[in-house]
Amino acid sequence: MLVIPAIDILNGKCVRLTQGNFSLAKKYSNNPVQMAKRFTQAGATRIHIVDLDGAKSGKPINFTLIKKTRQSTPAILEIGGGIRNLKTAKTYLDLGIDKIIIGTSVIKNLKLIKNLIDKYGSQRIIIGLDLNKDKIVINGWKKTSQQNYLSLAKKLKKIGTREIICTDISRDGMLSNPNLEPIKKLQALGFWVIISGGIANINTIKKLQTQKFYGAILGKALYENKINFKQAIKLTKTTNNLTKRIIPCLDVKNNQVVKGIKFKKLTFAGDPAELGKKYAEAGADELVFLDITATLEKRKTLCSMVQKIANNIFIPFTVGGGIKSVKDISAVLKAGADKIAINTAGVLNPKLIKQASKKFGSQCIVVAIDTKKVNNDYFVYINSGKTKTKLKVLDWVRQVEKLGAGEILLTAIDRDGTKSGFDNNLLRQICSTVNIPIIASGGAGKLADFKNAIIKGGADAVLAASIFHYNKKTINTLKKYLKKNNINVRI
Strand-strand pairing, 317-320 and 339-342: parallel
Q: Which residues contact 247 (CB under 8 A, 6 or more apart)?
A: 284, 285, 286, 287, 288, 439, 461, 462, 463, 464
Active-site hit among 53, 98, 130, 251? 251
Q: Where are the alpha helices (DSSP H) in 283-410?
A: 303-310, 326-335, 344-348, 351-360, 393-403
Asked if 251 is an active-site residue, the reply is yes
Closest CA to 227 of 205, 245, 247, 211: 205
By the 10 Å C-beta count (0-12 exposed, 13-18 middle, 19+ buried), 177 is classed as middle
**Are residues 339 and 316 in contact, defined by beta-carbon separation less than 8 angstroms?**
yes
Distances (CA, A) of 369 to 175, 350, 378, 388, 413: 47, 13, 11, 12, 10
Distance CA 291, CA 378 (A): 24
Asked if 370 is an active-site residue, the reply is yes
Closest CA to 478 of 456, 449, 455: 449
Number of neighbours of residue 96 by Cβ within 10 angstroms: 14
Active-site hit among 8, 51, 53, 370? 370
Known catalytic residues?
251, 370
